[in-house]
C-alpha cells in the first residue's frame, strides 16, 4: 500500500473489495476475504465490522454514494475508504495480510519467550509455558496457511484407502488392537489420531481395561504406548500389568507371595525390558496432574519414542490449566485438549473415565449420560465405550459401544478375570471376529 496516510488494515481490506469498478471483481474480492476470515484475520476486521457488513449487504452496489445513502452513520469511514481507493491494489491484500500475520507471530513469539524465561528464573516448570507457545504458534500458522488443493486431498484420501485395503487383505487391523476380538472387529482397532473414552462405575474395571489394552498393544504387539496414571504408583500399575501378562495372581503379588510365580515374573521382566512402554505416575511426575503437563508429555513421547497410543487414567482427575466457574467447564477443557492431542500427533488417545456415582449399583446397562460431565465428553470423543457389570464379584460383563463417529454400535460380552485383573473376550462359542 502507498500513501502518506495508510489505511488501517481493516479498511485496506475493505477498500480491496470496494475499489474495483467491475462488479464481478468486487464479488471475487469479497469472497476471497470472507474465505480468509478466521483466526487473527477476524481480529483485524472486528473494529470495522459494521462497515464490512455494509459492504457485504450492498452486494454489487458498492459505490460510495450508494453506501453513504444506505448507511449514513458510516459516512466518515466510507469517505476515507473512497480517498484511498487508488492507493490499494485489489490483488495485493493477501500479501499484506500475510505480512500482518507474520508480524503478529513474531510479536507473540517474543512474548512467550519472556514468559518461559520468567518461569525458569522463578524456578518453575517451563513445560506449560512451552506448550502454550507451541499451540499458539501452531494456530497462527494454520490460520495463515492456504486451503489445501483438492487434487492433493484426493491423492491423500486414496493413499489412505489403499493402505487400509492392504491391511485388510493381510488380515490386519487399521488401528491398535485391544485384544477383545469383537470390539476390535467393529472398530477395526483404536484408530490413529482419534480420542476414545472408556467409562465404568467406581471399582468396576476401567483401569483393568486400560492395563489389558496396554498389555495387548505393547507387550503382545509392540505398539509404542504411554500410560499416564493419576491414581496409583507406577509399581502398583506394574504389578497389575505383570499379573495381566503372565497370569499370576494379582492378590499374591500385592501381598508379596511371589514364590510360585518366580518363573512368570522372570518372563515378565525380560518382556517388559524389550517392550516400547512408557509409564508416568503423578508421584514421580507431578506435572501430569494438569492437562498442560499431560499434553506436553504426550507430544514429547510421540516425538522421541514414536508413541502411537496414549492412555490417561483417569479423565475426571486431570486438572485444567486455569480456574473455571464450574467443574463442567474444567472437564470441557480437559476433554477438548485430549482430543486435540490425538489430532495433532496422530496417536490414539484413550481416557478412562468414571460414571456418575448416582448410577452406581444400578442393574441397567449404562448410557452416555452416565458419564460425569457427559455433554462435553460426548462432543469431543470419537469413540465411547461403557463397561457394565451387575456386581463387582461377577466375571461376566458387557462393553457398550455407545458412540463411534463413523462406525456401528454394539453391546459386546466380555470376561473379567478377577484374579489376574484382565479383561478379555467372553468365554463362549461363536464366530471368530478377530479374522478380518
Question: In terms of C-beta density within 10 A (0-12 exposed, 13-18 middle, 19 or more buried), how is residue 137 classed?
Answer: middle
pLDDT tens-place values along the chain, 436 residues long: 333 455 555 566 666 666 555 555 555 555 555 555 544 455 555 556 667 677 766 666 666 777 777 788 877 777 777 666 555 554 455 555 566 667 667 777 778 778 888 878 888 777 777 777 776 666 655 554 555 667 777 888 888 888 888 888 888 888 999 989 899 999 999 999 999 999 888 888 889 899 999 999 998 899 999 999 988 788 888 888 888 888 888 888 888 888 888 888 888 888 888 899 989 888 888 888 888 888 888 988 898 889 999 999 888 888 888 776 677 788 888 888 999 999 989 999 999 988 876 555 556 788 888 886 667 788 889 999 999 888 778 888 899 999 998 888 999 999 888 888 888 888 654 444 443 3
Residues 6+ apart with CB under 8 A from 18: 26, 55, 62, 64, 67, 81, 85
Query: Which one, of 185, 208, 213, lies nearest residue 404 by Cα?
Result: 185
Identify whether the C-beta of residue 414 lies closer than 8 Å to the C-beta of residue 398.
Answer: yes
Does the model's pTM come out above 0.95?
no
Query: Residue 358: how many CB atoms within 10 A of its CB?
Result: 9
May I ask the CATH architecture of the domain 174-425? Answer: 3-Layer(aba) Sandwich (3.40)
Give the residue extent of every domain in the chain: 9-91, 96-144, 174-425
Quote the distance between the C-alpha of residue 409 and its chain's center: 22
- Residue 214, classed as helix, strand or coil, is helix
- The dihedral over CA atoms of 376, 377, 380, 381, expressed in degrees to the nearest 10, equals -160
Amino acid at each position: 500500500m502507498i500513501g502518506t496516510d495508510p489505511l488501517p488494515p481493516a479498511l485496506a481490506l475493505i477498500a480491496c473489495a470496494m475499489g474495483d469498478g467491475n462488479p464481478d471483481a468486487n464479488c471475487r474480492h469479497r469472497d476471497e476475504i470472507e474465505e480468509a476470515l478466521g483466526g487473527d484475520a477476524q481480529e483485524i476486521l472486528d473494529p470495522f465490522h459494521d462497515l464490512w457488513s455494509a459492504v457485504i449487504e450492498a452486494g454489487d452496489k458498492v459505490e460510495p454514494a450508494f453506501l453513504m445513502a444506505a448507511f449514513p452513520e458510516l459516512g466518515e469511514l466510507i469517505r476515507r475508504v473512497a480517498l484511498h481507493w487508488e492507493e490499494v491494489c485489489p490483488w495485493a491484500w493477501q500479501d499484506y495480510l500475510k505480512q500482518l500475520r507474520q508480524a503478529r507471530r513474531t510479536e507473540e513469539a517474543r512474548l512467550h519467550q519472556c514468559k518461559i524465561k520468567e518461569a525458569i528464573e522463578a524456578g518453575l516448570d517451563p513445560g506449560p509455558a512451552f506448550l502454550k507457545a507451541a499451540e499458539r504458534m501452531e494456530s497462527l500458522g494454520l490460520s495463515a496457511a492456504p486451503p489445501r488443493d483438492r487434487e492433493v486431498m484426493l491423492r491423500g484420501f486414496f493413499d489412505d484407502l489403499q493402505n487400509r485395503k492392504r491391511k485388510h487383505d493381510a488380515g490386519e487391523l487399521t488401528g491398535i488392537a485391544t485384544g477383545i476380538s469383537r470390539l476390535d472387529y467393529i472398530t477395526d482397532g483404536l484408530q490413529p489420531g482419534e480420542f476414545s473414552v472408556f467409562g465404568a462405575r467406581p471399582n468396576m474395571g476401567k483401569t483393568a481395561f486400560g492395563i489389558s489394552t496396554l498389555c495387548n498393544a505393547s507387550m503382545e504387539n509392540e505398539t509404542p504406548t504411554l500410560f499416564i496414571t493419576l491414581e496409583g504408583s507406577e509399581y502398583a500399575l506394574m504389578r497389575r500389568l505383570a499379573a495381566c501378562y503372565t497370569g499370576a495372581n494379582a492378590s499374591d503379588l500385592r501381598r508379596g507371595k511371589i514364590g510360585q510365580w518366580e518363573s512368570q515374573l522372570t518372563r515378565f521382566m525380560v518382556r517388559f525390558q524389550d517392550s516400547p512402554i512408557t509409564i508416568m505416575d503423578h508421584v514421580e511426575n507431578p506435572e501430569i496432574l494438569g492437562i498442560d503437563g499431560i499434553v506436553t508429555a504426550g507430544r514429547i513421547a510421540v516425538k522421541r519414542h514414536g508413541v502411537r497410543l496414549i492412555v490417561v487414567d483417569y479423565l475426571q482427575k486431570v486438572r485444567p490449566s486455569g480456574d473455571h466457574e464450574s467443574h463442567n467447564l474444567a472437564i470441557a477443557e480437559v476433554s477438548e485438549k485430549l482430543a486435540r492431542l490425538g489430532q495433532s500427533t496422530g496417536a490414539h488417545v484413550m481416557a478412562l473415565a468414571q460414571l456418575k456415582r448416582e448410577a452406581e449399583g444400578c442393574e441397567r446397562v449404562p448410557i452416555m449420560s452416565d458419564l460425569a460431565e457427559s455433554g462435553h465428553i460426548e462432543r469431543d470423543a470419537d469413540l465411547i465405550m461403557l463397561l457394565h457389570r451387575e456386581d463387582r464379584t461377577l466375571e461376566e460383563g458387557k462393553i457398550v459401544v455407545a458412540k463411534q463417529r463413523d462406525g456401528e454400535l454394539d453391546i459386546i460380552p466380555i470376561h473379567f478375570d478377577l484374579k489376574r485383573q484382565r479383561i478379555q473376550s467372553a468365554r463362549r462359542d461363536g464366530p471368530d471376529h478377530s479374522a478380518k
